[in-house]
A = this chain, B = another copy of it.
Amino acid sequence: MAAIRIFVTGGTFDKEYNELTGALEFKDTHLPEMLRLGRCRIDVSVRTLMMIDSLDMTDADRALIVEQCRHASESHIVVTHGTDTMVETAAALANALPPAAGKTVVLTGAMIPYAFGSSDGLFNLGSALSFAQTLPPGVYLAMNGRWFPWNQVRKNKDSGVFEPL
């Protein structure tokens, strides 16, 4: 069984409701709780790189994600990410990690925060971890139960669904 590294960057996945301000915000990641709920027995290590909305992600943030994926000892990597700029980060990763680098990197996210009862997060996490184990080296997105090569997908802003180009 291959080890998997999960890099957390925030996104809707990890948004919480602040009951004092009434705003959505980031605190700690829900990833460990989600892995526990899924009774996940993969050899996984979770590292939080940042906790931000992907619309606020800068080039420097992306460079950090790329460096962390390049230097990770694991060949199988999942990145949790806001959906709005997931494709941009995937492109940055693909530029630095061609298939010859031998790493399978899968980005995933959620349309509804995990802390909400109706989140797609647990489904997407199960999906992304599975694709990370079975897809050949390369950079991919996993959303809506599907996988997409990084350069063959876009988010449809009207429907919220990821579609092939």
Contacts and interface: CB of A to CB of B under 8 A. Distances in A.
A97 interface: no
For this chain, the copies found in one complex come to 4
Interface string A6-30: 0000001000010110101000000
Given A40-B144, A144-B40, A126 B116 contact: no
Given A42-B146, A126-B127, A117 B120 contact: no
A161 B135 CA distance: 25
Given A37-B120, A41-B161, A134-B134, A129 B145 contact: yes
Given A117-B116, A118-B115, A142 B161 contact: no
A48 interface: no
30 contacts: A1-B164, A12-B22, A17-B24, A17-B116, A20-B157, A20-B158, A20-B160, A22-B53, A35-B145, A38-B123, A38-B124, A39-B123, A39-B161, A40-B123, A40-B144, A40-B145, A41-B144, A41-B146, A42-B144, A42-B145, A42-B146, A115-B117, A117-B117, A123-B123, A124-B126, A126-B130, A127-B127, A129-B145, A130-B147, A133-B146
